[in-house]
Amino acid sequence: MALLTLAEAKAQLDITTTTHDTELQAYVDAIDEVIEGIIGPVTVREFTEQVDGRGPTLSLLRAPAISLTSFTPVLDGGPTLDVAQLHLNGALGEVRRKDGACFIGGPWMAVYQAGRAPVSPTINISGRILLQHWWRTQYGAARGNVGGADDFDVNEPVAGWGYAIPNRVLQLLEPFKTGPGVA
C-alpha cells in the first residue's frame, strides 16, 4: 500500500485532467522518500542488511519491521539461526533470541519486511498536505492558491528544513517517529 496514490494527489489538488499526471507522480514519489526519512518505512517492502553486534538484542536499521524472512551468517561456519528461534519487536526493529541467549559469532545478513500496513490516515494526510505545499510553491497564485494563502502566511522555517516541509506536516508525523536504534 502506497503512502499517497496519484488519484489521492489529484483529489487533494482538485485536478481532474491527466495533463499533470507525470509531474504529479514525481511529486508523489518524492513525498514517500521525504516522509520515510522522518518516520521510517511507510510503504511495505523487503530490506536486506548486515547486522552485527553482541549481546541480547540486535537492531535493524529500519523500523517498524513487520517480519523476519531470514537471518543467516555472513561468514562461513557462523551460527545459523532460524527465524522461528527469534523474536522481533517490530516497533523498535529489535531482534532477540527466544531462548534468552546472547548473539555471538556474527555478523548476520537479515532479510525482513518493514513499513506500515495499513498506512495511517494521519500519515496519508501529512503526504497530502506536503504535496499541496510543494505544488503551491511551484504554481503559486496562478493555481488559485490551492489550499490557502501563500507560504509565508502559515509556514515558518524549521531548522534544517526551511520551507520544504511545513510545521503542520512535522507535527502530524511526530507520533510516528521511532526512537534511535541501539548499535
Using one digit for the tens of pLDDT, what is the confidence trace for 30-61? 999 999 999 999 999 999 999 988 889 999 99
Res 175: pLDDT: 92
| Domain locations in the chain as residue ranges | 6-41+119-176, 45-114
- The cell numbers describing 118, all together, are 495499513
Residue 133 sits at the vertex; the CA angle it makes with 131 and 137, to the nearest 5 degrees, is: 115
What is the rounded distance in angstroms from the CA atom of residue 34 to the CA atom of residue 25? 14
- pLDDT confidence tier of residue 79, bands split at 50, 70 and 90: confident
Region 77-93 average pLDDT: 88
How far, in Å, are 78, 108, 144 from residue 105 at the CA level? 6, 9, 62
Reported pTM: 0.77
Res 106: pLDDT: 78
- Sign of the torsion angle spanned by Cα atoms 78, 82, 88, 90: positive
Region 147-152 average pLDDT: 46
